[in-house]
């Protein structure tokens, strides 16, 4: 919740849709434009004061409206937007740049930091020319106002068209932050123009109108891109925790619940994961290994239990990887100088990728062990330590970092595409389907997270395959020990581009069961550990 900035003067309050005709309200301050619900009508006047309609004065409930109006873009609003655009277009060149916004808003008595103004221009600048033309300006304000309305409705727990201190406290509690009634009153006062200690839609909108859209807390709360939905691979962007969760120690309970969920889901889908590794290393044009053949070969060689080879180390590495990633992410956030609780997309990509790289570097020998154990023959190793000792004695320390370079290179396309797809799906849902709340529900969140993660995997899959082949090269008797570039060339030459996607079918087959299982287990573990739902 923003607790800084000034309110917009009447000009900004008048630029939006005024579809409703003037209404009569008792106890209205004609100068301030707000309804004073508690003020009795003046004794000297028997008639109610006529209230002039203000910005966004369409009703919150459809049954109150003579006709629907979702920022309808009628001729009156178009005129008002043009007036505002002309005021902000200080140099009259048909575009609003950061300098124009700074000067224009100061004229209107509105103060925003340069960082906030840069975010506004960046959010609306579709043609990337560094300024907003009239069409971009209108599109940005309409889109932003829709998001503000969603947040207002989600805060308005009583559904009476106003927000009071109790509703502020409840909403912040949902975000994991507990504040006193005195603090809630302070927040209200910063937005309350008419002294009623209740915020109506006009006051809410006027306060937040030219704040960047990605600072809206409820949308951030519902759409956090969480990493608890384990698909058996490392998700690069760690879960973010509120200041209250860090203070009270709730964060480690979330991590434990997420780790437990990952352990169960990985164990349930381990046969598909082992099949993927075998197909990545052994499948070729000559043997054309298929899924059914791969499963029957594994069972024939080592029995049903062999389907879970390599799963032990895969589960063990969840703990250290999650903890290192979380701690690295927090430190990187401090280093890049972010004082926000939630980062922007670019910052999240940088911080998440770096945290992922640090965590992967720390536990990479365990990745190599997992691949070797998954590829082992019956009776070859008695356990994890025996396997580690064997690799160290035969191949030296360097063997524990085979495939490290393609693994690190795979982090950027994975994290970048994962975040980009997630943000695109989120914005598409908010634009088309969000009506009363920014909360999309569990199913939509799972679907968006799964889709974005799958797209990220697809983009980085060739690098993941080369990494696995490099890790497992020593298991191929008499096989050449190739470099990353040599292996790429060899696969393309002998198998074609499809050779870079061996094992893709079992990899994608485990995504939906992994996500479903990890979600169900995570929810149960949260209850057991006493974690509040966010």
- Between these two residues, 9 and 255, which has the higher pLDDT value? 255
Q: What pLDDT, on the 0 to 100 scale, is given for residue 233?
A: 56
Angle at CA of residue 121, ends 115 and 125, nearest 5°: 145
The mean pLDDT of 481-498, rounded to a whole number, is: 90
CB–CB of 374/278 below 8 Å?
A: yes
Residue 222 burial (CB count, 10 A): 21
- How many Cα atoms are found within 13 Å in the side-chain-facing hemisphere of 467? 23
Give the percent of the chain with pLDDT over 70: 71
Q: What pLDDT, on the 0 to 100 scale, is given for residue 27?
A: 35
Residue 158 burial (CB count, 10 A): 10
- Between these two residues, 209 and 83, which has the higher pLDDT value? 83
**Highest-pLDDT range among 24-28, 140-144, 458-462:** 458-462
Q: What are the CA-CA distances from residue 99 to residues 95, 96, 121, 210 (Å)? A: 11, 8, 11, 15
Q: What pLDDT, on the 0 to 100 scale, is given for residue 37?
A: 33
- Continuous segment of H or E residues that includes residue 25: strand 23-25
**Highest-pLDDT range among 31-40, 57-66, 161-170:** 161-170
Q: What pLDDT, on the 0 to 100 scale, is given for residue 51?
A: 35
31-45, 79-93, 374-388 — which is least confidently predicted? Answer: 31-45
Let me know if 408 is exposed, middle or buried by CB neighbors in 10 A (0-12, 13-18, 19+): middle
Reply yes or no on whether the pLDDT at 123 is more than 90: no
Reply yes or no on whether the pLDDT at 173 is more than 80: no
- Continuous segment of H or E residues that includes residue 199: strand 199-200
Q: What pLDDT, on the 0 to 100 scale, is given for residue 467?
A: 94
Q: How far apart are alpha carbons 165 and 169 in whole angstroms? A: 6
Q: What pLDDT, on the 0 to 100 scale, is given for residue 433?
A: 77
Q: What pLDDT, on the 0 to 100 scale, is given for residue 23?
A: 35
Residues 6 or more apart whose CB falls under 8 angstroms from that of 501 comprise 461, 462, 465
Q: How far apart are alpha carbons 390 and 383 in whole angstroms? A: 11
pLDDT bracket for residue 500 (50, 70, 90): very high
Closest CA to 398 of 471, 318, 505, 316: 471
For 48, phi then psi, to 5°, come to: -70, 150
Closest CA to 173 of 158, 183, 161: 183
Q: What pLDDT, on the 0 to 100 scale, is given for residue 235?
A: 44
- Between these two residues, 75 and 34, which has the higher pLDDT value? 75
Reply yes or no on whether the pLDDT at 70 is more than 50: no
Residues 6 or more apart whose CB falls under 8 angstroms from that of 509 comprise 272
- Between these two residues, 253 and 364, which has the higher pLDDT value? 364
Q: How far apart are alpha carbons 518 and 530 in whole angstroms? A: 18
Q: What pLDDT, on the 0 to 100 scale, is given for residue 349?
A: 79
Q: What are the CA-CA distances from residue 356 to residues 241, 359, 364 (Å)? A: 17, 5, 11
SS3 of residue 132 by DSSP: strand
Reply yes or no on whether the pLDDT at 52 is more than 70: no
CB–CB of 49/28 below 8 Å?
A: yes
For 431, phi then psi, to 5°, come to: -70, -45
- How many Cα atoms are found within 13 Å in the side-chain-facing hemisphere of 50? 3
24-28, 165-169, 239-243, 322-326 — which is least confidently predicted? Answer: 24-28
215-229, 282-296, 346-360, 413-427 — which is least confidently predicted? Answer: 215-229
Q: What are the CA-CA distances from residue 118 to residues 87, 132, 211, 444 (Å)? A: 19, 11, 11, 31
The mean pLDDT of 26-40, rounded to a whole number, is: 34
Q: What pLDDT, on the 0 to 100 scale, is given for residue 189?
A: 77
Reply yes or no on whether the pLDDT at 407 is more than 80: yes
Q: How far apart are alpha carbons 457 and 452 in whole angstroms? A: 9
Please give the mean pLDDT across all residues of the chain: 74
Q: How far apart are alpha carbons 507 and 491 in whole angstroms? A: 19
Q: Which residue has the tokens 């008639």?
A: 47
Reply yes or no on whether the pLDDT at 71 is more than 70: no
CB–CB of 421/345 below 8 Å?
A: no
Residue-wise pLDDT for 233-269, tens only, equals 554 444 566 665 666 667 778 788 888 888 998 999 9
């Amino acid at each position: 919740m923003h607790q800084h900035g000034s309110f917009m003067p009447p000009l900004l309050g008048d630029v939006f849709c005024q579809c409703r005709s003037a209404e009569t309200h008792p106890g209205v301050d004609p100068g301030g434009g707000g309804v004073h619900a508690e003020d009795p009508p003046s004794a000297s006047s028997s008639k109610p004061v006529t209230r002039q309609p203000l910005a966004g004065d369409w009703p919150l409930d459809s049954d109150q409206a003579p006709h629907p109006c979702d920022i309808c873009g009628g001729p009156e609003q178009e005129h008002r937007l043009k007036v505002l655009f002309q005021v902000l277009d200080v140099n009259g060149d048909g575009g609003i740049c950061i300098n124009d916004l700074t000067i224009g808003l100061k004229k209107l008595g509105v103060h925003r930091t340069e960082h906030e103004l840069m975010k506004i221009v960046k959010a609306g600048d579709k043609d990337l020319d560094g300024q907003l033309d009239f069409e971009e300006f209108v599109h940005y304000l309409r889109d932003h106002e829709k998001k503000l309305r969603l947040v207002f409705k989600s805060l308005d727990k009583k559904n009476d068209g106003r927000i009071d201190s109790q509703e502020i406290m409840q909403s912040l509690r949902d975000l994991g932050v507990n504040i006193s009634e005195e603090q809630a009153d302070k927040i209200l006062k910063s937005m309350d123009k008419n002294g009623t200690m209740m915020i109506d839609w006009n006051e809410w909108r006027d306060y937040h109108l030219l704040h960047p859209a990605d600072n809206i807390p409820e949308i951030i709360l519902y759409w956090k891109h969480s990493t608890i939905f384990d698909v058996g691979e490392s998700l690069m962007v760690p879960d973010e925790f509120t200041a209250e969760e860090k203070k009270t120690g709730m964060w480690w309970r979330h991590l434990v619940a997420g780790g437990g969920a990952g352990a169960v889901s990985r164990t349930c889908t381990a046969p598909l994961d082992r099949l993927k590794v075998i197909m990545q290393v052994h499948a070729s044009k000559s043997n054309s290994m298929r899924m059914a053949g791969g499963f029957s070969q594994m069972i024939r060689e080592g029995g049903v239990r062999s389907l879970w080879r390599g799963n032990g180390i895969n589960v063990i590495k969840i703990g250290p990887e999650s903890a290192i990633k979380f701690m690295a992410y927090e430190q990187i956030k401090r280093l890049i100088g972010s004082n926000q609780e939630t980062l922007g997309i670019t910052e999240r990509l940088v911080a998440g990728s770096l945290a992922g790289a640090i965590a992967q570097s720390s536990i990479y020998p365990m990745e190599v062990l997992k691949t070797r154990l998954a590829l082992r023959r019956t009776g070859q190793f008695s356990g994890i330590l025996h396997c580690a000792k064997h690799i160290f004695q035969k191949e030296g320390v360097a063997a524990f970092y085979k495939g490290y370079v393609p693994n690190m290179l795979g982090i950027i396309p994975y994290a970048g595409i994962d975040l980009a797809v997630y943000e695109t799906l989120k914005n598409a849902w908010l634009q088309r389907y969000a009506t009363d709340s920014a909360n999309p529900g569990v199913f939509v969140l799972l679907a968006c997270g799964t889709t974005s993660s799958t797209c990220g995997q697809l983009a980085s899959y060739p690098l993941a395959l080369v990494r696995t082949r490099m890790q497992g090269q020593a298991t191929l008797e008499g096989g050449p020990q190739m470099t990353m570039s040599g292996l790429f060339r060899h696969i393309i030459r002998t198998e074609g581009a499809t050779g870079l996607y061996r094992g893709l079918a079992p990899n994608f087959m485990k995504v939906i069961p992994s996500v479903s299982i990890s979600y169900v287990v995570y929810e149960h573990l949260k209850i057991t550990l006493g974690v509040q739902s966010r």
